[in-house]
Structure 1
Amino acid sequence: MLFVAVWLTTILSSAAFANARTHTFNFTAGWVNANPDGFKDKRMIGFNGEWPVPDIHVNKGDRVELYLTNGIDKDIETSLHFHGLFHNTSYGNQNQMDGPVMVTQCPILYGETYLYNFTVDDQVGTYWYHAHAGAQYGDGMRGAFVIHDPDEPFEYSKDLVIQLSDLYRQPYYDVSDAFLSRYNPTGAEPIPQNVLFNNTLNATLDFKPGETYLLRFINSGLFVSQYIAIESHNMTIVEVDGVYVKPNTTDLIYVATGQRISVLVKAKENNPGRNFALMQIMDDSMLDVIPPDLQLQWTHQVAYDKGYDWPKTIDVGGLENAAEEFYLQPLDNRELYDDYDVQITFDVRMKNLGDGVKYAFFNNITYVDPKVPTLTTALTSGKLAKDPRIYGDNINAYVFEKDEIVEIVVNNYDTGKHPFHLHGHNFQLVQKSPAFHEDENFPEEDQDKMTVPYNESAPLMNFPSHPVTRDTILLEPNGHVVLRFKANNPGIWYFHCHVDWHLVQGLAAVFIEDPETLQEREKLGSNYKQVCKAAGIKNEGNAAGHTDDWFNLEGLPRQPAPLPWGFTAKGYVAFMVCTLAALWGIYTISDYGLSETIQNDQEVYNRLKEALNVDDAAISSVPTDSANNQ
């Protein structure tokens, strides 16, 4: 019977793949003039002269061939990441499809083309794709990527994709430069000028009475988490990050950057004679200041008839009542990994370095791009690929053995929120603490005292039997999370904060997973090598590009030197010059303004000479202006 079952499964699987399609896209990225929110024109990055870029819809088992040509600007590089896709390397040369620059590929320079070629055979649900070079996708190079499942475990009349994002009026590179500057020593994140709902505002979702809708929410913004509520309609969560969950009904959801949440919404049985507000609300707790002209919430509409009046704004109430991701459970009842084989603890801190810029750190290391993509190093280093030293000391590199259960502990020694995303995997959420910021007046040097790190011997909550499984999770201020995953996808996988400002600050690590198996499965493709050659990047070598001595890291880019204690040499010189200038100023004022008067009072005059440490000759040598009686 077991043989028959396996045989039948194989036949059905083969039949499904026989019906699979290949979707071919030819995209040239370039600037497009747009006005996303209706208030001000802005150049956005579109494809083939159009923006927004298209959403991509495929079926389970389909193949994607996406040719991306960089036509943005001669000094701008780019790449694409398919957020949430595993790119399972058992199918060969898939790690090269993942996208982050200098991790799994070289940057695509102006005029160059890179082919992203992969099959989506073992995943379904809601994903998205976006540029993975700096904060580039904030200027619009992002779109939904939906894998439709013929065996979905729920029914609905229609699905609607909804991108939630934030909008900066200046080009992403100008915003980044101002952010990573000594003139922003506090590291305050850039505040967006607006939010967008499907790349616009004042949006309408058309409902028909009695029908059920699947709303796929994607936060494709750079920074701000967002809340969603629908007036007089419940939302039933059925999927997070491509994983089906047991239905959970709520009236308020919270979507951090990088996360996806799909909900079922049942329309009214009969025409209600009116339309309803759909509220989109910024999480303003993430903003250091709130500009007076920043609108924190927008009212869109669920429309039963566009002839009805636009709905009035509703008061959502307590935002703390949003559905909590920790209590969601996977529909397939997958169980918690019993224990871990290796545990990694990351302490998150933000601090200034010697150049005056505030950086983000895992364990006092802020990520700095190597000279050679980490994938290149792993595939060209032979048996040395298992030695973390060849990947450099600037990327938080960790090597895992095949099928190890990895536990990641992240302690947040920062007052900000951090949605962490893992490439190539989903992880189980084992622990998630609340925020700890009772006293917001703590001086910066004492912020560590507010943090509650993970205590394995006394966890804050019971370990869930069936933990929520997803690829992006929110770390609360001064709190902690504990994640587990199985190292069963050999490859080079990025782990980073998906607040993109924190990523450009260096809040990232790289996992090198079972590199020996990876070398058996994957070879650097000709397109990969050509793009690297065009960028002047070697196609072999350690992190510093050396092959004669794989442990020679000379020339490796590293983080700036620490900020010295006390004054720097320049500071001492400046202090001395200012002090001398101040004394000279006092002397000059005393001489020019008071000399004749004081000389009539010899006692006061003598005291002033002594205080300023000057004599009569020095005073008399200063020229006077008799015309002005000075």
Structure 2
Amino acid sequence: MRSFLVNLRYFLVILSLLKLSSCKTHRFRFKAEWVKADPDGLGERRMIGFNGEWPIPDIHVDKGDRVELYLTNGFGDGTKTSLHFHGIFFNSSYGNMNQMDGPDMITQCPLGDGDTYFYNFTVPDQVGTYWYHAHAGSQYGDGMRAAFIIHDPDEPFEYDEDWVIGLADLYTEPSYKISKGFLSRYNPTGAEPIPRNILFNNTVNATLHFEPGKTYLMRFINQGLFVSQYISLEDHSMTVVEVDGVYVKPEETTLLTIASGQRMSVIVHAKDGDPKRNYALMQISDASMLDVIPPDLQLNRTIQISYDSKYPAAKEFFIESYSNAVNDFYLQPLQEEGIMEDYDLQVKLDLRMKTLGDGVKYAFFNNVTYTAPKIPTLTTLLTSGRLATDPRIYGDNINSVILKGGEIVEVVINNYDPGRHPFHLHGHNFQIVQKSPAFHENETFTDAEQDRITVPYNEDSPIMPFPVHPMLRDTVVLEPNGHVVIRFRADNPGVWFFHCHINWHVEQGLAAVFIEDPLTLQARETLTDNYKDTCSNVGMVTTGNAAGNSEDWLDLTGLPRQPKPLPEGFTIKGYIAFAISTLIGIGGLYSITKYGLQESIPNDAEVYDNLKKLLAKNNIET
């Protein structure tokens, strides 16, 4: 018996080595830098390219392959950056993987001018549609994003051609300029910036060439900063077969909805024989997410499905109702997995948007808006020894949650906001066990009214029946004034970011950090020299608590914190009054100056009157 076991062990080792020898290593050297581009024909703008070119390339690998990617910061203007492979688990069983995940100040320091970071990992057991993008500020909206496809030799469906389709939104200014105006007291309502266009594979003039009788796999990826998008094909049905890298039981539909960060792959059968015409694929913005719709903003794009160029171009068509779009709550993974019935830890996150004392509107979980620490959270974990399980060392400014290894975690998010929020979890897929519909969508309420009309999760009386085989994915949409409940097993030690994938909301602080099984991670992972060098080069220490203090680990002096709250009784109306009164004061000084220079003052009285009328309209006294 002993001899049999020894031989079996040798056989398994040889089999493993043979398997590894058949896997490929893909090497990339990318220099991120500003380039000029005009994706929509409305004028050039600065985009982020690699090695002087934009768009940056899609990456295709096979299951089990290795990726070696060197990213160099070539901006040369002080812009810092990092790179995240969206949806990849980076399981620490395979080495120093948590350092590969990429969000700056979470699992690495941001790259400074001239620095290079080495992303080095395998994709041992994941397949399907992913993407990679900048994870510093909102840089991926500047074009630093592309598909990351892991091909599977054992796909459970057949097709003739494989198409990757990136959906995105496009702004006129670079994200760092937009962010400055967005996070400002001059935007007191926190209205999200409105894109100038939506893109389909980085253009507005796309054509897909169908051949009669062929079958196509279409991988849709929403790579936008903000707006969810709908997809519909004229007189063609779509069969959903994969969502966020998870194979699903085939679901036929005529309408997809894909939020930022989400991926959805469908099988489409072309017409048999010559259809004697071309068809339209409609790409439609979710206009309900926009506070304002500028008159020149084109919400719908008509993509040509061309069977033959001799036929006229297809005309746009309209969707009467979006209610029949695929609802991921009702999808089922192809490989059935029962619901995780008994959770060990419930994490309740109440989402609110409110203004703080600096006049900026922030996003909150449980009244805490994520404020980046002085050094990455991973640095703190890996250098703190036994203190790694003490939540105090990570600060009270990042919504940190310590998870024990192996426990089942339930995350409840209640939305006290009329907006739609796609939430993405790094390092895991999760089960969707509850997902409410929207309530009072597109209606405006005061904060007090918002609390009354929101429908939070009631564990004793759930709105939805619990699914037997819940959908698995890594990004789920939380509907306006509703709730969503997800569950996952804490079986991947690491520091994992959980955040809204509307990147403007991340910049407002809508994020939490799950610190999972920290002592096991310490046993598996150490900070690489490359990690330490990039931190040192941007002036960050490589040991210490969230404030960078390693002498007294509980001393958080100097920790960045959210601004203080508004003074009691000081409201948005107060800011309006202050702004208008300031304008009146400036107008008065201007008038006095002109009078002193013996110049006429035409229409100044009219300006005064208009400003005073505006104050009166808002019931504000001066």
Under a length normalisation based on structure 1, what TM-score does the superposition of the two structures give?
Answer: 0.89
- Alpha-carbon distance in 2 for matches of 1:225, 1:519: 39
- Alpha-carbon distance in 2 for matches of 1:542, 1:527: 20
2:389 matched to which residue of 1? Answer: 386
1:286 matched to which residue of 2? Answer: 289
* Pair 1:561 & 2:564 matched: yes
2:416 matched to which residue of 1? Answer: 413
Give the direction of change, closer, same or farther, for the CA distance of 1:151–1:5 in structure 2 (3 Å limit). Answer: farther
2:339 matched to which residue of 1? Answer: 336
Alignment deviations for residues 377-407 of structure 1 (CA, whole Å, 9 cap, x no partner): 0000000000111000000011111101000
Matched residue SS, 1:175: helix
- Alpha-carbon distance in 2 for matches of 1:120, 1:484: 23
**Letter aligned with residue 494 of structure 1:** F
1:535 matched to which residue of 2? Answer: 538
| Mapped contact 2:441–2:481 kept (Cα < 8 A) | no
Q: What is the aligned counterpart of 1:152 among 133, 140, 155?
A: 155
Matched residue SS, 2:310: coil
Give the direction of change, closer, same or farther, for the CA distance of 1:284–1:5 in structure 2 (3 Å limit). Answer: farther
- Alpha-carbon distance in 2 for matches of 1:332, 1:30: 42
1:242 matched to which residue of 2? Answer: 245
| Mapped contact 2:231–2:256 kept (Cα < 8 A) | yes
Matched residue SS, 2:27: strand
The offset of 1:207, in angstroms, is 1.2
Give the direction of change, closer, same or farther, for the CA distance of 1:461–1:122 in structure 2 (3 Å limit). Answer: same
| Mapped contact 2:228–2:260 kept (Cα < 8 A) | yes
Give the direction of change, closer, same or farther, for the CA distance of 1:514–1:439 in structure 2 (3 Å limit). Answer: closer
- Alpha-carbon distance in 2 for matches of 1:45, 1:450: 42
2:593 matched to which residue of 1? Answer: none
**Letter aligned with residue 393 of structure 1:** D
Mapping 1:96-115, distance limit 5 Å: 96-115=99-118
Alignment deviations for residues 427-477 of structure 1 (CA, whole Å, 9 cap, x no partner): 000000000116824334411111000000000011101000000000000
| Mapped contact 2:60–2:151 kept (Cα < 8 A) | yes
* Pair 1:448 & 2:451 matched: yes
- Alpha-carbon distance in 1 for matches of 2:293, 2:133: 28
2:201 matched to which residue of 1? Answer: 198
- Alpha-carbon distance in 1 for matches of 2:58, 2:442: 44
Give the stretch that moved more between structures: 231-240 or 437-446: 437-446
Q: What is the aligned counterpart of 1:307 among 307, 310, 320?
A: 310
- Alpha-carbon distance in 2 for matches of 1:210, 1:5: 48
2:35 matched to which residue of 1? Answer: 32
* Pair 1:316 & 2:319 matched: yes
| Mapped contact 2:279–2:304 kept (Cα < 8 A) | yes
2:481 matched to which residue of 1? Answer: 478
| Mapped contact 1:125–1:239 kept (Cα < 8 A) | yes
* Pair 1:176 & 2:179 matched: yes
Matched residue SS, 1:319: coil
The offset of 1:201, in angstroms, is 1.0
- Alpha-carbon distance in 2 for matches of 1:14, 1:322: 46
Gaps of 5+ in 2: 589-622
- Alpha-carbon distance in 2 for matches of 1:216, 1:317: 25
- Alpha-carbon distance in 1 for matches of 2:285, 2:229: 5
- Alpha-carbon distance in 1 for matches of 2:410, 2:60: 34
- Alpha-carbon distance in 2 for matches of 1:410, 1:364: 13
Give the stretch that moved more between structures: 188-197 or 4-13: 4-13
* Pair 1:232 & 2:235 matched: yes
**Letter aligned with residue 67 of structure 1:** Y
1:63 matched to which residue of 2? Answer: 66
- Alpha-carbon distance in 2 for matches of 1:7, 1:293: 68
- Alpha-carbon distance in 2 for matches of 1:109, 1:286: 35
- Alpha-carbon distance in 1 for matches of 2:464, 2:177: 43
| Mapped contact 1:401–1:513 kept (Cα < 8 A) | yes
- Alpha-carbon distance in 2 for matches of 1:512, 1:53: 32
| Mapped contact 2:418–2:442 kept (Cα < 8 A) | no
**Letter aligned with residue 189 of structure 1:** E
Mapping 1:363-402, distance limit 5 Å: 363-402=366-405
- Alpha-carbon distance in 2 for matches of 1:472, 1:425: 10
Q: What is the aligned counterpart of 2:495 among 475, 492, 495?
A: 492
The offset of 1:9, in angstroms, is 7.9
2:215 matched to which residue of 1? Answer: 212
1:616 matched to which residue of 2? Answer: none
- Alpha-carbon distance in 1 for matches of 2:198, 2:16: 43
Q: What is the aligned counterpart of 2:437 among 434, 438, 462?
A: 434
- Alpha-carbon distance in 2 for matches of 1:307, 1:194: 29
Matched residue SS, 1:218: strand
1:552 matched to which residue of 2? Answer: 555
- Alpha-carbon distance in 2 for matches of 1:402, 1:51: 42
Matched residue SS, 2:351: strand
- Alpha-carbon distance in 1 for matches of 2:145, 2:59: 11
- Alpha-carbon distance in 2 for matches of 1:57, 1:307: 34
2:349 matched to which residue of 1? Answer: 346
Give the direction of change, closer, same or farther, for the CA distance of 1:340–1:6 in structure 2 (3 Å limit). Answer: farther
| Mapped contact 2:418–2:444 kept (Cα < 8 A) | no
* Pair 1:465 & 2:474 matched: no
2:426 matched to which residue of 1? Answer: 423
1:49 matched to which residue of 2? Answer: 52
- Alpha-carbon distance in 2 for matches of 1:406, 1:153: 30
Which protein shows a greater Rg?
Answer: 1
| Mapped contact 2:240–2:250 kept (Cα < 8 A) | yes
- Alpha-carbon distance in 1 for matches of 2:93, 2:23: 19
Give the direction of change, closer, same or farther, for the CA distance of 1:441–1:494 in structure 2 (3 Å limit). Answer: closer
* Pair 1:502 & 2:505 matched: yes
The offset of 1:7, in angstroms, is 9.2
The offset of 1:12, in angstroms, is 5.8
Matched residue SS, 1:321: coil
The offset of 1:306, in angstroms, is 2.4
| Mapped contact 2:418–2:441 kept (Cα < 8 A) | no
Matched residue SS, 2:326: coil
| Mapped contact 1:348–1:411 kept (Cα < 8 A) | yes
Matched residue SS, 2:392: helix
| Mapped contact 1:74–1:109 kept (Cα < 8 A) | no
Alignment deviations for residues 279-310 of structure 1 (CA, whole Å, 9 cap, x no partner): 00000000011111111101001111123221
* Pair 1:21 & 2:54 matched: no
Alignment deviations for residues 482-503 of structure 1 (CA, whole Å, 9 cap, x no partner): 0000000000000000000000
Give the direction of change, closer, same or farther, for the CA distance of 1:486–1:7 in structure 2 (3 Å limit). Answer: farther
| Mapped contact 1:366–1:507 kept (Cα < 8 A) | yes
* Pair 1:221 & 2:224 matched: yes
- Alpha-carbon distance in 1 for matches of 2:296, 2:481: 30
- Alpha-carbon distance in 2 for matches of 1:132, 1:441: 32
**Letter aligned with residue 440 of structure 1:** E
Matched residue SS, 2:340: coil
Matched residue SS, 1:320: coil
| Mapped contact 2:36–2:46 kept (Cα < 8 A) | yes
| Mapped contact 1:30–1:71 kept (Cα < 8 A) | yes
| Mapped contact 1:162–1:215 kept (Cα < 8 A) | yes
- Alpha-carbon distance in 1 for matches of 2:373, 2:12: 45
The offset of 1:545, in angstroms, is 0.6
**Letter aligned with residue 390 of structure 1:** I
